[in-house]
Structure 1
């Protein structure tokens, strides 16, 4: 557990907030950076600006009440430890909150008890174990980046953000050209090294907010957050070019390592299958066009160039 815990307290009652702050001030096990807001809307906005380790949320807020507070905060801050603050010590309600993603419950009548810190400590530890297990389950063992399961989960998250807030995203499916022939000629040890180096370079070339995964064989996926088709195509061209220039020589002097890519942007009515189908169609055209290139599907046509949309 980190020595510094960043905590968001979502509580509109000043007395309850003061009692919670008093417990935290007296804690000797870890230090806490505390932010407090009074509404769920302000809490969600705060999670967009900061990364919180812990969120303690009252289930009765001015703008939202009940377990919807847990659901929406879990969507906004999926890795944060969530503890709910309740008026009634209802076991059934507690179990439902945990099912929805909370780690524990604190009753208002227990706010003066020193056990509050124990609840916080144990909740943080359980969440850390959970995150570690989830990370292992969604990590490609060979490359250390996300696997297909992680890629699809991130796509679901981006679709939720797009549907709720209109945030665009694009994705690229990259395929290592002639990967089977490379394995046949150079052996699977070289093939594995290629996969690791491609994964490493893709991860290093995109933003921290973007997501890179190996989704099968020599196929990689990149999700570009808040990115339109033209920009995703431009970045994909750059990444492809850099891998061609630098990666082959790191493996074998004679090896020519190239990628082909297919790009698509989320559109109205899309689901995971439809956006992946467009990216796959664009990738097919890239392969048929000689490989070592990227193509984008704009919903109607596939092309290696896409006009930048006018934002005025």
Structure 2
């Protein structure tokens, strides 16, 4: 390898999403970053927040560079919307507003950093991007270490509660919908009694893998406690949530435990957020639907909607239908 090739390989490659409605500003920023000797930027430029939400369905980015003066979402509300879709991606605000109050509000809303356009210098911007990514990576890792169930690799109860609380905050402030499902392995005690706790642990891992299989990046899967699992589905009303939750129930039923010795079933309860809900009440409504599913014979999904329990069947929520992504509300 030549010295030039070695130097090139040491340059950090960054997948950057620039959300900026001014084409002139976007070209200027792109040109500055192209000249940076510290990073190689793969730049995607979009002019609206709606376009960015669509892009998240197809691509992942290392960092987002955001202008606060967008035509379809003005101010720090844009930061909250982005974090609702891609909570682990750092956001750097780049705007013409130099007020210190705006900078503080942006950081409070979840931005990693803030830079007025009037003070943009290529080297400063490139360092800001790399530092924001590094800080977010450390934060993500710390959160992961503290919020992961060691047996299944899913989130733990603490992570589940935290996610419900965050989504409730987004609902109360911005009206973003979300749904919660609680799934419980049927007759789990009999598995432990017949096959032993080692096989019981394997059953938990198999169910966890089946539930989370092909889930959206924005969905949150957790071991709620014992043989119970929780799923938080942001930007998903009940119609989309019942498709996803029923798919989880079916996938578990198709999985096998103990080198093909047996399969397990789950019962599930589902609830979507409603006005007046709290972090406790929406989980309680999903939990009540779970117990109703048990009462109705297990191996089924029941939704708690408008104060009534309803079986969710394949005809009501076809498992072959593609679920809307986090950017859709249908």
CA–CA distance in structure 1, aligned partners of residues 215 and 121 of structure 2: 48
- Structure 1 stretch displaced more, 18-27 or 62-71: 62-71
The reply on whether 1:148 has 2:157 as its aligned counterpart is yes
Cα shift at 1:75: 4.0
Cα shift at 1:291: 2.9
CA–CA distance in structure 2, aligned partners of residues 292 and 216 of structure 1: 19
The reply on whether 1:243 has 2:252 as its aligned counterpart is yes
Which of 33, 40, 59 is the aligned partner of 1:30?
Answer: 40
Cα shift at 1:235: 5.6
CA–CA distance in structure 1, aligned partners of residues 70 and 245 of structure 2: 44
Which of 201, 218, 232 is the aligned partner of 1:192?
Answer: 201
Please tell me whether the aligned partners of residues 86 and 218 of structure 2 are also in contact (alpha carbons under 8 angstroms): no
Report the equivalent of 1:279. Answer: 286
Unaligned runs of at least 5 residues, structure 2: 1-10, 318-330
- TM value normalised by structure 2: 0.72
Unaligned runs of at least 5 residues, structure 1: none
Cα shift at 1:226: 6.0
- Structure 1 stretch displaced more, 260-269 or 159-168: 159-168
Report the equivalent of 1:53. Answer: 62
CA–CA distance in structure 1, aligned partners of residues 161 and 29 of structure 2: 38
The reply on whether 1:297 has 2:315 as its aligned counterpart is no
Tell me: CA distance 1:153–1:45, structure 2 relative to 1, closer, same or farther (3 Å): farther
CA–CA distance in structure 2, aligned partners of residues 34 and 164 of structure 1: 29
Tell me: CA distance 1:86–1:147, structure 2 relative to 1, closer, same or farther (3 Å): same
Report the equivalent of 1:178. Answer: 187
Please tell me whether the aligned partners of residues 219 and 233 of structure 2 are also in contact (alpha carbons under 8 angstroms): yes
Report the equivalent of 2:269. Answer: 262
Cα shift at 1:277: 1.9
Cα shift at 1:294: 3.0
Cα shift at 1:137: 2.8
Cα shift at 1:295: 2.6
Tell me: CA distance 1:70–1:288, structure 2 relative to 1, closer, same or farther (3 Å): closer
Cα shift at 1:282: 1.9
Report the equivalent of 1:124. Answer: 133
CA–CA distance in structure 2, aligned partners of residues 209 and 166 of structure 1: 17
Report the equivalent of 1:219. Answer: 228
Tell me: CA distance 1:115–1:296, structure 2 relative to 1, closer, same or farther (3 Å): closer
Cα shift at 1:268: 4.0
Cα shift at 1:216: 0.9
Which of 10, 13, 19 is the aligned partner of 1:3?
Answer: 13
CA–CA distance in structure 1, aligned partners of residues 63 and 146 of structure 2: 23
The reply on whether 1:115 has 2:119 as its aligned counterpart is no
CA–CA distance in structure 1, aligned partners of residues 237 and 67 of structure 2: 38
Please tell me whether the aligned partners of residues 198 and 247 of structure 1 are also in contact (alpha carbons under 8 angstroms): no
Please tell me whether the aligned partners of residues 12 and 61 of structure 1 are also in contact (alpha carbons under 8 angstroms): no
CA–CA distance in structure 2, aligned partners of residues 207 and 233 of structure 1: 14
CA–CA distance in structure 1, aligned partners of residues 243 and 99 of structure 2: 54
- Structure 1 stretch displaced more, 187-196 or 233-242: 233-242
In the TM superposition, what whole-angstrom CA distance separates every residue of 1:157-181 from its partner, at most 9, and x where no partner exists? 5556666787655433111123234
CA–CA distance in structure 1, aligned partners of residues 66 and 240 of structure 2: 38
Cα shift at 1:92: 7.5
Between Structure 1 and Structure 2, how many residues are aligned? 302
- TM value normalised by structure 1: 0.76
